[in-house]
Structure 1
Amino acid sequence: MMDVPVSTGITVTGRGRVDKREAILAAAFEVFARKGYEGASVDLIASEAGVAKPTLYNHLGSKENLFRLVMVG
């Protein structure tokens, strides 16, 4: 499969970094909306995004950072 350059400088191959990031952000939005910040867990967000917990941390860092990104939109 060919690499596709993305404007952010990230290279995407197949279900690459951008798709995973979008899945994580979408899942985080849903989980935070349902559970609130305190009730949301990184495990639940990763599970709903279909990624491993370390993948979530590699892409977006902490729960706090994830919440900030979701809220800013």
Structure 2
Amino acid sequence: MATGWVILIAVIALLAGAALGFFIARKYMMSYLEKNPPINEQMLRTLMMQMGQKPSQKKINQMMRAMNAHTKK
């Protein structure tokens, strides 16, 4: 009978740990993405201007497609 209680407590602890871990990881990722947002068109335009290039919308769209294709791999 004692073995049944040990197994039950272990399963409950495992489920509670998994749920707690999920919420902690979710909160960490939300704060990380808030501090380090993924690159967007405006950031890409600013970066190109800082490098001395005159960004055209066609070039920005091309670079965004390339970056999105690279992140999906």
TM more than 0.5: no
Give the number of the structure whose residues are more often helix, by fraction.
Answer: 2
Give the number of the structure whose residues are more often strand, by fraction.
Answer: 1
Bigger-Rg structure (1/2): 2
Q: So what's the TM-score if we normalise by structure 1?
A: 0.29
Q: So what's the TM-score if we normalise by structure 2?
A: 0.29
